[in-house]
Structures are given as structure tokens and as C-alpha cells.
Structure 1
């Protein structure tokens, strides 16, 4: 996990999208494969926000008719990556500040409940697993590798949700995941943000070990709102 190239990060994005789509429909079809590849390119900023998604060009790329392209783009619209305005060409979704605030406030509120559950119910073995996930984050932080840190952070929170055993929270957070990956990378790219995030997660695991649900929830709240402030300042 120490180093991660752009190609490795793109592959992780594809795997993540495939996992989320498979949770709704486990058939790997041409439509889902197109959605996985285009979605990963959106997440990795290969296709930037606001970019037109021309179905004619994409049908040439995938050597298929425009129908599977349209269906794939509709699938990505449901996942919050693509905007399909009436009578206009589909484009990569552009998130404005009100939408970003809404996403971060919602995610923070849910993960506060999750962290409180983990602090109260996680087994020692589960806490060891979470600590190992933070160690992966620490190695990426030491290397200054934002992509490696991002995916280690995603792995930590995936595990955190599993340990919480709160299936409702897990479904909601996963429904927001694809929308947040670009935002999280942008926030983590700000100077000093990797180290601050790592410190928050180390303190979170300590709060878990101390069985302190209030401190755990407060740390999750602070981490999300600090990230949100970073995004707000970078958007001005």
C-alpha cells in the first residue's frame, strides 16, 4: 500500500463501482462494464466535472450502439456521477457548495452513530483490524501518496461500517460513496490535510479502545467538518 500509481487508483475505482453496482444487480453486462469504466474515469478526474458525455463518441469507443451507452449513463446518474438534463447532452455532474455541504453533513451525522456503535460493541480482534487499517493510512501518509491514503481511508471506513453491524447506516453511506471520492481526494490534497486526517483516525481508534462513544462521535464530526471547510475554502 506504500505506493499507488494513477493506473492502480483507476483499477481501485473500477473495483469499487463494480462492488456497488453488484449489490443491486450481480450480472456483469455490457451496460455495467461501460458504467464501471466511465464511472472510474469520472472518479479519477480522467473525465472532469462538467465534461459532455457524447453517446456517439462513446458508442464508437465501445464499438456498440448508443442504447447501451445511454443505459450505462443512466446507471451512473443514479449513482450521482452523471447529470442528464432534459433535451440536453449528458455530462459529468458538477457539485455546487450546497450539495457538497448536504453530503458532508449527512455523512458526518450517520458516521457519528456508527462510531458510537463501534466504541460500545467492537471486539478486541475487530479493533486490531481497524488499527491495522490505520497503519496502512500511516504508510501512505508517510509517502505523501494521496491516492494510496484515500483508498486506505475508504478501506478503513468500509471496515468500520462492517464492525458497527449497522446495516442501515452501511447502505446509506455506500450510496454516498461514489459521490464523495473526488471530494475526499480534493480535500486530502490540501497542505497538511493528510497528517491531520491520520491523527484524527489514530485518536478515533484510541477512543474505541477506551470505550468512549461520545469522544468517537466527536472526532468523526470534527474530521468531516474540517474536510468540508477545506473544500469550502478551495472553492472560493
Structure 2
């Protein structure tokens, strides 16, 4: 970040970060940075069951009438717990909110989990990508999706015929060694405590780094 914009960017980040519970609720002046896992939209897009058509004048079932007005009602079981119903309602609100935004950029971590995969000739799209497609549809070029993955491919085939089918939208191949050296990913650490514990005092003394006076550093 250029020095001239650093303070402004940091102020925006501090005020705009929004946990998943506040998506669609938090009001900011210049946009939001929403952090969420895919589960927040996992129940979206489920097909509605076909409703039976009843003739006018037919005696109505009181339970059916109540359900038509209040399709979700609190009860004693876990599925109708008020907290569960509230979360389910908020999921619908989040999808609508994100869909109605004029512009959006999405960063997907571990993105190899969200893309369509092929199995026995059928292409299956996972739920998170379905939701992203719904959100992106009205935005056109004002929607950008950036995916990060250490394994940007699907395994196809079996046995000797198995191969890696790389995602077609790979833009940058950032090798692991460079990422570790620049501190962008976790560094590999080998646990050598058992090896060190097996060394004798003489060997440990020999391996110590010493100053010009022979004292361990």
C-alpha cells in the first residue's frame, strides 16, 4: 500500500470489517468487508415444494391456514428453536442483500472446495458457487471473484488414468518456496526434539555456538 494511502486504507478496514452475523445490518459510509464461511448461504436455493391447489369454499384446515401465514413457527423441537429460525431467516436476508449490492469482490480461500467437479460424466456445482453465481448475475462486470488455492485442480480418473484437471482461470502461479520466504503462508517446521534429546551432553556442548572466549551464545 503506498504511504499516501496507508492511513486511509487502515481506517477503512478498521471501520468496515463485518462478521457474518452483521452482514446486511452494519451500516458504513464506503462499503463493507464481510468475513464469512460458506455455511452462511448453505441453505439458499432450495426448491420450494409444490403447494396443492384448493377449491374456493372448501373447509380449511386451521393448521394449514396458520402455516400459510407463518410458514416458520417456534416450537419445542430443535428445528423450530427461535435461534434456529432467526438464523434461517437471516440467511435469506444475507443472500438478498449481497445480490442487491451494485458491486462486489469476493476472495475465496481454499477455493478448490467450491468449484464444480465432474463425477461419472456429470458436472456438479457445489452450493457455495451456486450462491456466488446468484449474487454475481445482476452485477455483470462489477463482480470479481478471486480464488486462492494450493491445489487449483480436480483429480479426474482413477488408477493409472488419474490426472490433474487444472482450473482454467489460473492467473498467478505463486510457488510455495517464495510464499514461505515472504511470510505469506505457514512455514514448514520439523520437530527435532526427540533427536536433540537423544544427544549426549558432549555432543550438545560441541554443537553450541560460542563467542570468541568460548562461552555459549
TM-score class, shorter-chain normalisation, is under 0.3
TM-score w.r.t. the length of structure 1 is 0.22
TM-score w.r.t. the length of structure 2 is 0.24
Greater RCO, CA 8 A, separation 6+: 1
